[in-house]
A = this chain, B = another copy of it.
Amino acid sequence: MGRWEPDARGRLANAALELYSEHGFEQTTVAEIAKRAGLTERTFFRHYADKREVLFAGSGQLEELLVRAVADAPESAAPIDAVAVGLDAISEVFADRRDHARKRQAVIMANAELHERELIKLASMSAALADTLRRRGVAGPAASLTAEAGVAVFKVGFERWVAATEQREMSQLMRESLDDLKAVLTGR
C-alpha cells in the first residue's frame, strides 16, 4: 500500500457497508465501493478477494482473539469460565463498534448466502475453541460441548447486543446469556 492511501482498507470497508445497507449486497458492485471510498478497483482487490470478503475479513481475527484469551485464562479456571474470559475479550473489541455491527448484521440477515457464510464462521469458531480446550486438558465430549455452549452464548449475546433498542454493554449481555443458558439447562 502506498502512503497516499491512508487506511484504504478501513475506508473500503465503510464504503462497502454503506452501499450494502443502502442498495443491498447483491446490487452493489466493487466499482461502486471503490468509487465511494475514493479509491480504484485495483486498490480494492489489493485488500479484499471479493465483495463478500469485506464482511468476513474480521472473523479470523475474532476467532484468534477468542482462542488466545481462552488459552491464556488462569490454569485453575473451569472450562466454561475460560470460555467466559474469551467472551469478555471479544466484548472489549466490539465496544466501540455497535453501529457498524448493527449495519453488518442487517446486511447479513437479509441475504441467505451471507447468513450461511456467517454460520460457517461460527462453526469454525466452535471447532477452534474445542481444540483450545483440549489443549487445556479438557477431555472427551466435554471440550466440544463447552465450545458449542460458548458459541451459543456468543451468538445469542451478540443478537441481543445489536438489537435496535438494546443499550447495555456486550460484556454484560454475554454474562447474562451464559447465566440464562445455565438456568435453562438446570431448570432453575
Contacts and interface: CB of A to CB of B under 8 A. Distances in A.
A120 interface: yes
Interface in A134-188: 141-142, 144-146, 148-149, 152-153, 155-156, 159-160, 177, 180-187
Interface of A: 78-81, 116, 119-120, 123, 141-142, 144-146, 148-149, 152-153, 155-156, 159-160, 177, 180-187
Identical copies in the complex: 2
Given A119-B123, A120-B116, A184 B80 contact: yes
Closest 9 CB pairs of A and B: A148-B152, A78-B187, A146-B184, A145-B181, A119-B123, A144-B156, A182-B185, A141-B156, A142-B184
A76 to B, nearest CB: 12
A80 B145 contact: no
Contacts of A153: 145
